[in-house]
Amino acid sequence: MKIVIKPLGAVVLLGAILLLAVLAFRGKPWSDLAVATAPVVVSNTTPGTAVASSLAGAPSADAPSLPRIASSSGPIRGHSIYRDGVENGWETQGWTWAKEVVFDDSTLVRSGSKAIKVQYQAYDGVKFHHAPLNTTSFNRISFYINGGTRGGQRIAVGAACSEKNVADGVRFAALPAGKWVAVTIPLSKISLADRPDMTSFWIQGSSDKPQPAVFLDEVRLLRPSEPAPSGDTLALAQ
């Protein structure tokens, strides 16, 4: 038997097929549908919003930073100021007024791989600067110094709070030649004890004439419970 579908009947048949397909699709659970989705990109309308939210919980620029452990060898004592370079927020560049100074010299080193070499002209100084620092936890400044092959140099140490001098320089005896000697200064000796605003101290030549090069290393602030540097010491001037 030959079936002839007229145009109107074809339209009705096609509509029925589409209706059945839609009903079947709607009855299918979502878990069985393979849907490919692209990543959603959200654009902030307010500039900087995404950056600000990503930094939430990060320390602000003026938050105190944790002390950085020095990379050079040897025990870490106290608050390190110089070991192979200045650290813990201390600065020398732009503050030191000695013209003949090298802050990363390797000629003569006490520990690590670098030391400060300075050839003092008349009353030249190597200055260490910090944002106002509370000294309540500390009671001494210490460092090692070497007079090189000649020795005989004379030095003094001074200090400032809020960048105002608080003490005359403490003077020391002449340096011996060819050996590292330790210098330990009570903070009370240079008016830095229990201060909330220590900003700098300096190691300067105390002669009005040029002096042979000296070498400085292991500069630090010491807590009362920490031992003084070991080895020979440099006495105060008589």
| Within-domain flag for 134 | yes
In a domain, 202, yes or no: yes
- CATH code at 163? 2.60.120.260
Using 50, 70 and 90 to split pLDDT, how confident is the model at 12? very low
Does 37 map to a domain?
no
Please state which of the ranges 47-56, 59-68, 162-171, 225-234 shows the lowest mean pLDDT. 47-56
Q: Per residue, what are the HEC states of 108-131?
A: CCCCCCCEEEECCCCCCEEEEEEE
Q: Is residue 60, in this structure, part of any structural domain at all?
A: no
Residue 28, in any domain of the structure:
no
- Report the distance separating Cα 87 and Cα 20, nearest Å: 78
Q: Which two tokens stand for residue 97?
A: 């007024």
Per-residue pLDDT, averaged over 146-153, amounts to: 97
**Cα(120)–Cα(125) distance, rounded to whole angstroms?**
7
Question: CA-based angle 225:231:234, to the nearest 5?
Answer: 95
Domain holding 115, by residue range, is: 79-222
Which residues have a Cβ under 8 Å from the Cβ of 203 and sit 6 or more positions away? 125, 126, 143, 145, 155, 156, 157, 216
The model carries a pTM of 0.68
70 falls within a domain: no
In terms of pLDDT, which residue wins out, 12 or 85?
85
177-185 mean pLDDT = 97
What average pLDDT does this structure show over 82-97?
Answer: 96
Higher pLDDT, 209 or 7: 209
The answer to whether residue 50 scores a pLDDT higher than 90 is: no
Residue 100 lies in a domain: yes
Question: Angle 116-140-112 (CA atoms, 0-180°, nearest 5)?
Answer: 30
User: Which residues are CB-contacts of 106 (< 8 A; sequence separation ≥ 6)?
Assistant: 113, 114, 115
The H-or-E segment that residue 185 falls in is strand 180-186
Condensed to tens digits (0 to 9), the pLDDT of residues 155-173 reads 999 999 999 999 778 999 9
Write the CB contacts of 38 (distance below 8 Å, at least 6 apart in sequence): none
Average confidence (pLDDT) over 149-160: 97
| pLDDT band with cut points at 50, 70 and 90 for residue 77 | low
CA dist., res. 158 & res. 133, Å (int): 16
Q: How many domains does the chain have?
A: 1
CA distances to 107, 178, 210, 214 from 204, in Å: 20, 19, 12, 11
In a domain, 3, yes or no: no
101 and 134 Cβ atoms separated by less than 8 Å: no
